[in-house]
Structure 1
Amino acid sequence: KVTEEDENGDSITYYRYSTDPERAFFALSFSQVGMGLGDYRRVNQLSNGTVFEFVPRINGRPQGDYSILTQLPTPDSRRMITAGTRIKLGEKESVYSEVALSSRDQNLFSNLDDEDNQGLAWKAGIKSEDREFSQFKGYKFKAQTEVEFNSSQFNFIDRFRYIEFDRDWGVNPEDLEIPASERFFWTQIGLEKDARNGFNYRVFLRNRAEQLDGSQHTANWNLELGRFLVKQEFFSLNSNKDTIQTDWKRYLGQLSYRSKILVPGYQYSVDRNAAELIERDSVISTAMNFREHLLFLRSNDTLSYAFSADAAWRTDRLPFSGRLQDNTEAFTSNFSFRKNWTNHQLQSTFTYRRLAFLQRDLPEELTVLGKVDYSGSLMKNLIRNEISYAIGNGRELQREFVFLPAPNGDGTHTWRDDNGDGIQQLNEFYLAINPEEKLYIKIFVPTDTYIQAYSTLLNYRLQAKFPDDWKESGGVKQFLQKFSNTSSLSVEKKVTSDDFLTRIDPFLGGVDRDQILSLRQILRTSFFFNRSSASYGFDLSLFDSQLKQLLSGGFEDQIQKDWKWNSRYQLNSVTTFRLLTGMGKRISASDFLENRNYTISQRMIGPELAWQPSPFVRATGTYSFSAKENLENEVFEEKASIHQVSFETRYAKAIKTTLTGNLRLIQINYNGEPNSPVGYEMLQALTNGTNITWTLNWLQKIGEGLQLNVVYEGR
C-alpha cells in the first residue's frame, strides 16, 4: 500500500505488487470495468497469479481498465400502471390512445433523489385496415399513424419493443443510461394480397432530447409472377448523436423459381453501417458492414423429402485509419436433407466455412459443423438402430496455471530459482522427486481469453431379436428365438487439436493429452435369454463408463467397468430363485490429489429368494458376498470383504397404498485407511465392522392428483 501526492498536491493511495513477506499484507481482487474507468492495468502473468500495476491519472481521469472496487447490487422497485381506449370511427378506421405512469426506486435503502422516481408516457394513433380499392383488385389497403412521448424518468418494466430497436437507431446501451425524454412519430401504408404479394412502406422519426435525432425508412415488396417469386427489403437510417453521425443502408433482394421439384434462386444482400465523427469526417465504428452473394437450391415443399443447399460469398468491412476497408472474406456452404421411408428416417445438416483475413497476418480459419440423425429397422423390425452423430466448434475460456505454496509434503512441484532473481517464473517449477521438495501445487485458473474447442458427439442404440414365429418352429430356431440384445453407446469429446481427423473422431485414440478438454464415454449392453418367460431366464450385461475432465487442478479420470450375470428360476407358482454374480473395476486417477489414484477390482455373488403368495404381498430374502482389492497399493494387499444379508417385504394394493420395508445386515472386513477416498469406495460409505440399515416407505393416494409419501431411513 503506497501513499503519494499527485500534481495538484493531493494525496493518493494505491497498491503495488510485492514478493517481500514483510510488505505484502493485502490480497486484492480486480474487476475489469472498461478502459478509462479504472486505475489499474494488467501487466504480467506470474506463477502465483496475475500482476496489476497502478496507472496515474491524467487531468483527474483514470487511465486503466481494472479496478479494486466492486459494485454491490441494491434492492430496487419497479411499478407501472397503464390505461388505454380505442374508438371505431367506422367499419375500417379506428383511433386509439394509451397513457402510462411508472415508478422506479433504484435503492430501497435510501431516500436520496426519490423525487425523480416517477415518469409519464402516452401515445395516440389512427388506424385503417382491410379497405379495398378498385384500382388494386385483390389487394387490401392498410395504414397507420402514431405519435408517442416518454418523459425522461419513465421506465418500462419489461422490453416491449423488438430486441434490435435501439441498435437500428445506432444507440448503444450506455447511451440509454442517461435519462432523457423521447418523442416518436411514425406512419406507414401497405397493400397486401397474400404472403407472396404485398407492399409496405414506413417512415419513423425519433428524438431523444439532445442525444439523438434521426429518421428511418423501411420498405418491403413481394411479388409473384407465374413461377417466379421476387422479394425485396430496404432499410435506411440517418441520425445525429452528439458529435456522431450514423448512416445505415440495408438491402435484401431475392429471386427464386418454383418448379414442381426444385426451387433455385439467387439472393443479394448488402449492409452498410458507418458512424462518423462530424468534425473529422472519419469513420470510427460500424455495427455491420458487409456484402453477400448467395446461390441456393432447395426442394419444393410438396415433395415427400426435403433438402436445401446454398453457397455464399461474403466480404466484411471494418474502419481502418478513419476509412472503411475490406477486413475478411468468407465462403460458407450449407446443406440439409430430410427423408422418411417406411422403416427408416434420415436427417442431416452440414456447414462448411472458410474465413480469410485481409488486413491482419492471420492464418485462414476453417470451420466444419454437421449432424446426422438416423433411425430405422431391418429384417421386419428384428434389428432397430438409432444413430446421432454431431461435430461442432465452440469457444472455451483459455486456462492458465499458477503454482501456490502447499504444506510440506502435500505438494507436487518444486521451485528452482534458475536465474537467481528471487522471482518465481512459470518455467522454474518442476515435478518434485524428493518428498521434502513437494512444496507447491499446480492450479489451473480461467482467463478472459477464449480459445477454439472442437466437440464430437456420438449416440448409438441397438435392439436385436430373432423372429417371433421361430417360437413355434422347434429345434435350433426355437432355442435362438429366446435370445435378444439391447446396447447403447454415448461418446462426448471436446479437444483443442488442429488436426481435422482428430476433431471429427469421437474416440481418443492418438490424441495428445494436452489437447483434451473433456471426454464422457458410456457403453451399455445386455444379452437376454428367455426374457419374456416367467419360468426361467438369464441376462448378461456390461457397463463401461469413462469420464475425463480438466478441472482447476489438472486432469481427473473416473473409469467404471462392470460385468453382471443375473439368472432366475421359478420354483413354484409363488417362489422364485435368483442368482446374481458380477465382477468389475473402479479406476480413479488425478493429477493433483494423490490419494484419489486407485484401481479397485471387485467380485460379487449372491442368491435371492422371493415369495409372492398374492398380487399384493411380496417378500424377498437376499445374501451377497463381495471381495474388493486396491491394485494400486504397492505397500500391502489392501482388501475388503463384504457379507450382506437383507430382507424386504412389500405390500401394494392397486394404486392406492404401497408399503415397503427393508432391513440389511452388512459385515465388512477392511484392512486399509477408512478416512480416504479409496476407503470410502471400498466401504461403500459404511464403516468397518458390523452395519445395520433399515428403510420404511409408505406411499398413499389421497385423491386425484394428490399422493402422500413418507420415507424413514436409519443406520
Structure 2
Amino acid sequence: MVTIWPLRSQTSNLRWKTITPQSDTLIIDSLTIYQNSFKVFCGDALLDDSAYYFDGNTRKFYSKTDCSDSLQLRYRVFSIDFQKPYQTIDTSMIYQNKGEVADFFYSYEEKPLNFFSDGGIKKSGSISRGISFGNSQDLSVNSTLNLQLSGEISNNMNILATVTDDNLPIQPDGNTNQIQEFDQVFIQLYGKEYKIIAGDFWLKKPTGYFMNYNKRAQGLYGQYSWGDEKNKWTAQGAGALSKGKFARNEIQGMEGSQGPYRLKGNENEPFIMVLSGTEKVYLDGKLLERGQEYDYVINYNSAEIIFTPRNQITKDVRIVVEFQYTDQNYARSLFQASINYESKKFDFWLNMYSEQDAKNQSLQQKLSTKDKLLLSKIGDTLELARTQSIDSVGFLDNQVTYKLMDSLGIDSVLVYSVSPDSAFYRATFTNVGVGNGNYIFDRFTAVGRVYKWVAPIGGVPQGDFEPSRLIVTPKKNAMISAGMNYRFNEKWKMMTEMSTSNNDINTFSRLNSEDNRAFGNKTTIDGLFHLRNDTTSKWLVSTGLDFEFRTKYFKEIERYRGVEFDRDWNVRNMQYQGQEVLAHVSGGIKHKDFGGVELKAQNYTLGEDYQGNRAQVLGDWSRKGFNASLDGSYLSANADGENTYLRHKSKISQEFGKIKIGFEDDHELNQFELGDTLLRTNSYQWYDWKVFLANADTLQNKFTVFYRERYDWKSDSTRLKSAAKGRSVGADYNWVTNETSTLTTLVSYRTLEIKDEQLIDQQPENTFLGRIDYRLNLWKNALTASTFYEVGSGLELKREFLYIEVNAGQGVYTWIDYNNDGVKDLNEFEVAQYQDQAKYIRVFTPSDEYVRTYSNEFNQTLFWRPERIWKSKGKVLKLLSRFSNQARFRVNRKMANQSVRTYNPLDRNIEDSSLISFNSTIRNTVFFNRTNPIFAADYTYSETGSKTLLASGFDARDIRFNALNFRWNLWRKFTINLEAEEGLKSSRADYTSGRDFSIQYHKVQPELVFQPSTTFRLSLNARYEEKRNDAEFGGESAFIGDVGLGLKWNQIEKGSLNAEVKIVSINYTGPQNSALAYEMLESLKPGRNYTWNVNYQRNLSKNLQISLQYNGRQSEESKTIHSGGVEVRAFF
C-alpha cells in the first residue's frame, strides 16, 4: 500500500509517501529523486540509512527494518527522469547527404569527438596565475583553478566533474538540513552499468550485517553491474586516502543547557574538526535531523552541537553522536571491495575493508627514531607512549619560544623569551591534572599561549601542565565478511554471515599481536505466514530465530548494533571482556490494517564476566482513531552481583473528530544488588508521564499542548529514595495553509525540584524555551516581512585568538609596533587599510572554558515596495509610491543572569556587566525615487554592535550613523552625488590596554560625474570630515579633507580601466603611535598625503584575460609606497 500525502503547492518538489513495511523492492517515484533528501520514518522515528536500501537514480527502495508501524518517506524530486533520454529535435529529420543536388537544404556532417567542444559537454570555470609585488612587501605568487564539467561524452558514457586547487581548511555550516559541499573535488564517468570516480567520494554501508561504515574518502572508486533482473551481479572497489576517523561520543545532557556540546576524538583530543555530513545524532536512542528548523545545528569547524527548542535538553537525556573527524597524525589509506549477487530466491555478498595509518608517513606529529623505538616496545599499552615535547627550532618571532635555564637546582627549566640570542626552543604543553605538572598557564600573546614554571614544594609538583605529549600510535582495522540470504518460499527465509576482523592499535610493535584477529557469525531464520491457509486473511503470524557469536577482541569498523544496545543490557562503560553470544527467539501476530503484538526472549553472554536474560514485548494497535503502542522489557543479569532492569514505554491516544487526546509514559527500574540488603549507588528508578491534546494527523495546520512530569529515585546504598521531580508544560502550532503568511510557534517551560541534595548533584532550575517564526507576503509582494524570535539557555565558549602571518595582500590585519619592543602584542594589530599592509589573519581558537548563559535571538525584515500596487493609481497614491522602505533588525544576546531583560531583544546596553555575548545589526533605509533616472534620495539609519567573550576578557565595538544621499542628473552627461553622514564609533576592551575610545564624526562627500557615453566616466570628488574622541578617553581630534579625480573606461568584450588619484590633508591633535591614531588617521599621517591606484583589465581573446593593478601612497616625512600585481585568467 502506498499513499501520497497532499501538498500545498502543485509546483513543490517535496513528496511524502506512506508505505507498508515489506521486503519487496518498490519503485518509489516516476522522477529522479535527490539522494540526500531521502528520509524514512517509522511512525515518528527517523530511521538510520542502514535500515533500508535506496537508489535515487533508479528510485528502487526496500526495507530492512522490523518497523511495526507504517513507513513514511520524505524526499525531493528533480523535474525530469534522468534515466530517460531527452531531445528537443527529432534526429530522424537530420538530412544525410546522398550525393544529389538540391536548391537548398541544411546539411549535417558528423564530426569526431572534441572533449572541450561545445557539444554535449557543459563546462564552466577558470584558471588563473598571478603575482603581487611592492617596495614594502615580498614577491608572492597566487593561483586558482575552478572547473565544472557535465554532459554526455559518447553513447553510454557521461561525465560529471568538479576540479579546483582550493584547499579550504574549513567545513561548511551545519545549520541547514541540506549541506552545500564546497570542498568536493572529483571526476565521475558513468553509464547505465558502471560508475568510476576519481577524487572525493562517499563509501556507504555494503550489504550485510557486521560491516558498517559511512566514510568520506579521496582516491579511486569503481562500480559495475551486469546480468538481468532475475540474476544481477554488482561489483565495486575503492582505493583511497581516508579523509577522517570514526568516533562515538556519549554525552549526558545538562539541565537547561541546549549547548554547545563539544565533541572529542578517539585519543581524547579536545579540539577537532568534524567532516561535514558524517554525523549521526541520537537523543534517547532517537535519530535526529540537522537544521535550525529541525533538531540541532552543528559547527563542524569547532565540533560543537547546539540543540534547537524542539528538544529540551535536561539532566535526564542521553546524547550519542557518531561522526568522522579529520586526523592529521598519519596519512591514512583505505581499501574496499565487494561483490553482490541477487536473484529471486538467493542473495550472496562478499565484502572486504581495510583502513590503516602509514606508520612511516607521519604528518602533524613528528616522530624521531627514539620515538619509534619507544612505540615498538610498549605493545598495546598506549598510555606509555609519552615523550618530551621540547623542540630546538631557533628563534621564531611568529611563535611562542622559550630559553632553557637552571632554577633552584633544577636543570632545563623553560622560560618564556623573545630574545633572538637565547629563545631557541618551542614546546607543546599538555594538561596532566592539578598537582601533576611543573608548569602553569601564564598569559596570552598574539602568537599563542605562554606557560610558566613553578617550583615544587616538598618535592610535590604545583602545576598542571607539562612539556610533554602522548604519541598517537599508527593503527590498522580490517574486516572481511561473506553472507547469504535464502528464501525457501514465501513464508520462510534464512540469512547467515561470517566475518573476521583484524585490529592492530600499534603497528610499530609486534608485541600483544595475539589479540588482533577475531571472528564473528550471524544467523537468522524468519517466518511470516497467514493465520489460516486462506491467503486473503489479514492476520499474519511471524516467528524468528537469531543467533550471533563473536570471539574475544572482535572489532567492528563502525557500530552495527542498536545505538543503545549496551544500555539495553546494562554493559555501558563496563570493561567486560570475552567471547560474546547473543541469541533470541521471537514470535508475534499482526493484523495488516490495525497492528499486532510480538514477544522476544533473549540471552546475552559476555565471557565469564556477564550473563543476561531479557524478555521483551512489542505491540501496537490502530483502529477508528484509536492508537496504542507498547515497548516493555525485563532484564535479569549476573555481573558483579545481581541486576534486574524493568522498563516500559507506552503511548495511547484517541481521536474525537478533529481533536486527539493522548497519554505517554516511560518507566525504568534498574537495581544493582550488593548482597542481600544493599544496593549499589548506580541503582535508580524514574517515571516520566505526559498527557497531550492535539489535532488529527490528517490536518495540515497542526497544534499540540502537553503537560509532563518526571520523578527520580536514587540509591542511598540501602534503598531507593526520592531525589528530584521535574514538571514541564508546552505547546506548538504550525499554520501553513494560508497563502499570504505562515506561522510556526513552539514554547516550553520546565521546573526542576531537588528532593534530596545528598542523592543528586544538581541545583534547582527553571528553564524556558520558545520560538516564533512568521512570514508575511501581501499585495503582489509589495509588503514582505519575516519575524524570527527564539529564547533559550546554554553555554558560551571563552575564545582565544592569535595572529598568523601570511603573504602580503592575502591577510586582513597589519602589525604596528606601538611600543617599539619588537614583540607582537595583542593590542598592536589593526585592520589593514591598504592591501600591501594586509599581512596577518586572526584565528579564533577555542578554549575548554564555558560560561552558563541565557539567550535570545531576534531577526526582523520588512520590505515595502508600494510602486508594485500604486504606480498607476491617483495622484496621492502615485506620489506615495515613490517612497519605499527596507528594514533589517538582527540581534543575538546572551546574558549571565536570568531576568525579564534576558528576553528583551531591544536591550542594546553593551556595557552591561551581565552581558556575555552580543551581536546586533539594525539598518533602515527610506528611498525616494529609487529607480528614477533623474533624481533620487535615500536616508539610512544603522547600528552595529558586538561583544565577544575572550579567555582573558571582553572585546566590544559599536558603530552608529545617520546617512543622507542625493543623486541628481543635471543634464544628460552630468550627475551630482552628495552624501552626508554623522555617527559614533566606540570600542571597549578589557583584555588589553590602549583600545578604548568613542569617536564622534561628521562628514560630507560631494561628487560631480561627467559621463558622455557608456564607455567613459570622469568624476571629481571631495570629502570633509571631523572626528573627535570623547574627553573621557583623551579628547583627540582630526580634521580630514581630500580631493580626488577618478576615471573609468569600459569597452564591452575588450577591457576596462579604472584610475583614481587623491590629495588628503589631515590636521590631528594627539599622539600618533596608538590604535586610536590609526583609526582616526585611516593609516595615513598628519599633513598632506597622496594616494593613487590604477586597475587595467584586458580581454586578450574570448577565453583569456589579463589584469594589471598598481597602488601607491605618499605621506610627509615617509617614503613612497608602491604595490601592484599582474594576473592572467583563462575561462573554460
Q: Which of 509, 513, 530 is equivalent to 2:912? A: 513
What corresponds to 1:330 in structure 2?
726
SS in 2 for 1:333: strand
Letter matched to residue 102 of structure 1: S
The answer to whether the Cα contact below 8 Å between 1:566 and 1:578 also exists between their aligned partners in 2 is yes
SS in 2 for 1:154: coil
Residue 764 (structure 2) pairs with residue 367 (structure 1) = no
What corresponds to 1:88 in structure 2?
487
Moved more, 480-489 or 165-174: 165-174
Distance 1:475 1:146 in 2: 83
Distance 1:694 1:395 in 2: 49
What corresponds to 1:217 in structure 2?
615
What corresponds to 2:752 in structure 1?
355
Moved more, 563-572 or 528-537: 563-572
Instruction: Give the direction of change, closer, same or farther, for the CA distance of 1:478–1:227 in structure 2 (3 Å limit).
Output: closer
Residue 707 (structure 2) pairs with residue 311 (structure 1) = yes
Q: Could you report, residue by residue, the CA deviation over 1:685-705 in whole angstroms, capped at 9, with x for unpaired residues?
A: 5677333334456899999xx
Letter matched to residue 586 of structure 2: Q
What corresponds to 1:425 in structure 2?
none
What corresponds to 2:842 in structure 1?
none
Instruction: Give the direction of change, closer, same or farther, for the CA distance of 1:65–1:463 in structure 2 (3 Å limit).
Output: same
SS in 2 for 1:175: coil
SS in 2 for 1:153: coil
Residue 562 (structure 2) pairs with residue 162 (structure 1) = yes
- The Cα shift of 1:669 comes to 4.1
- The Cα shift of 1:575 comes to 6.8
What corresponds to 2:658 in structure 1?
261
Residue 601 (structure 2) pairs with residue 206 (structure 1) = no
Residue 478 (structure 2) pairs with residue 79 (structure 1) = yes
What corresponds to 2:575 in structure 1?
175
- The Cα shift of 1:494 comes to 0.6
Matches within 5 A, 1:23-422: 31=431, 40=436, 70-129=469-528, 131=530, 133=532, 137-173=537-573, 175=575, 180-194=578-592, 196-241=594-639, 243-278=640-675, 281-286=678-683, 289-340=685-736, 341-360=738-757, 364-377=764-777, 382-396=782-796
The answer to whether the Cα contact below 8 Å between 1:376 and 1:386 also exists between their aligned partners in 2 is yes
Q: Could you report, residue by residue, the CA deviation over 1:365-408 in whole angstroms, capped at 9, with x for unpaired residues?
A: 21111111222246775443311111111144699xxxxxxxxx
The answer to whether the Cα contact below 8 Å between 1:394 and 1:454 also exists between their aligned partners in 2 is yes
Distance 2:453 2:657 in 1: 64
Q: Structure 2-normalised TM-score?
A: 0.50
SS in 2 for 1:627: strand
The answer to whether the Cα contact below 8 Å between 1:41 and 1:54 also exists between their aligned partners in 2 is no
Q: Which of 493, 510, 521 is equivalent to 2:893? A: 493
- The Cα shift of 1:103 comes to 2.4
Distance 2:1107 2:530 in 1: 67
Distance 1:117 1:610 in 2: 81
Q: Structure 1-normalised TM-score?
A: 0.76
Instruction: Give the direction of change, closer, same or farther, for the CA distance of 1:236–1:711 in structure 2 (3 Å limit).
Output: farther
Number of residues paired by the alignment?
629
The answer to whether the Cα contact below 8 Å between 1:41 and 1:55 also exists between their aligned partners in 2 is no
- The Cα shift of 1:41 comes to 11
Q: Could you report, residue by residue, the CA deviation over 1:291-346 in whole angstroms, capped at 9, with x for unpaired residues?
A: 12321100112334211011012101222234221110111111011223342222
Distance 2:987 2:1051 in 1: 41
Distance 2:606 2:493 in 1: 29
- The Cα shift of 1:354 comes to 1.2
Q: Which of 1034, 1048, 1056 is equivalent to 1:634? A: 1034
The answer to whether the Cα contact below 8 Å between 1:577 and 1:610 also exists between their aligned partners in 2 is no
The answer to whether the Cα contact below 8 Å between 1:627 and 1:642 also exists between their aligned partners in 2 is no
SS in 2 for 1:478: helix
Letter matched to residue 290 of structure 1: W
Listed as ranges, the gaps of 5+ residues in structure 2 are: 1-405, 416-427, 444-450, 800-818, 821-844, 1112-1122, 1124-1132
- Aligned identity (percent) is 20
What corresponds to 1:663 in structure 2?
1059
The answer to whether the Cα contact below 8 Å between 1:598 and 1:630 also exists between their aligned partners in 2 is no
Q: Could you report, residue by residue, the CA deviation over 1:212-243 in whole angstroms, capped at 9, with x for unpaired residues?
A: 211222221112353322222212222223x1
What corresponds to 1:691 in structure 2?
1091
Distance 2:493 2:943 in 1: 69
The answer to whether the Cα contact below 8 Å between 1:74 and 1:108 also exists between their aligned partners in 2 is yes
What corresponds to 1:435 in structure 2?
none
What corresponds to 1:455 in structure 2?
855
Instruction: Give the direction of change, closer, same or farther, for the CA distance of 1:194–1:599 in structure 2 (3 Å limit).
Output: farther
Residue 971 (structure 2) pairs with residue 568 (structure 1) = no
Instruction: Give the direction of change, closer, same or farther, for the CA distance of 1:691–1:450 in structure 2 (3 Å limit).
Output: closer
What corresponds to 1:431 in structure 2?
none
The answer to whether the Cα contact below 8 Å between 2:621 and 2:629 also exists between their aligned partners in 1 is yes
Measured on the aligned residues, the alpha-carbon RMSD in Å equals 4.3
SS in 1 for 2:680: strand
Letter matched to residue 878 of structure 2: Q
Distance 1:624 1:108 in 2: 71
Moved more, 354-363 or 688-697: 688-697
The answer to whether the Cα contact below 8 Å between 2:1042 and 2:1063 also exists between their aligned partners in 1 is yes
The answer to whether the Cα contact below 8 Å between 2:888 and 2:922 also exists between their aligned partners in 1 is yes
SS in 1 for 2:943: strand
The answer to whether the Cα contact below 8 Å between 1:40 and 1:52 also exists between their aligned partners in 2 is no
Distance 1:466 1:660 in 2: 37
Instruction: Give the direction of change, closer, same or farther, for the CA distance of 1:511–1:687 in structure 2 (3 Å limit).
Output: closer
Distance 1:466 1:587 in 2: 37
Q: Could you report, residue by residue, the CA deviation over 1:412-443 in whole angstroms, capped at 9, with x for unpaired residues?
A: xxxxxxxxxxxxxxxxxxxxxxxxxxxxxxxx
Listed as ranges, the gaps of 5+ residues in structure 1 are: 1-19, 58-63, 400-408, 411-444
The answer to whether the Cα contact below 8 Å between 1:283 and 1:323 also exists between their aligned partners in 2 is no
What corresponds to 1:423 in structure 2?
none
Letter matched to residue 325 of structure 1: K
Letter matched to residue 544 of structure 2: Q
Distance 1:183 1:305 in 2: 49
Distance 1:459 1:279 in 2: 61
Instruction: Give the direction of change, closer, same or farther, for the CA distance of 1:561–1:395 in structure 2 (3 Å limit).
Output: closer
The answer to whether the Cα contact below 8 Å between 2:527 and 2:544 also exists between their aligned partners in 1 is yes
Q: Which has the higher strand share?
A: 1
Distance 2:502 2:1043 in 1: 69
Instruction: Give the direction of change, closer, same or farther, for the CA distance of 1:74–1:278 in structure 2 (3 Å limit).
Output: farther
Distance 2:675 2:696 in 1: 51
Instruction: Give the direction of change, closer, same or farther, for the CA distance of 1:664–1:74 in structure 2 (3 Å limit).
Output: farther
Moved more, 117-126 or 672-681: 672-681
Distance 1:280 1:556 in 2: 59
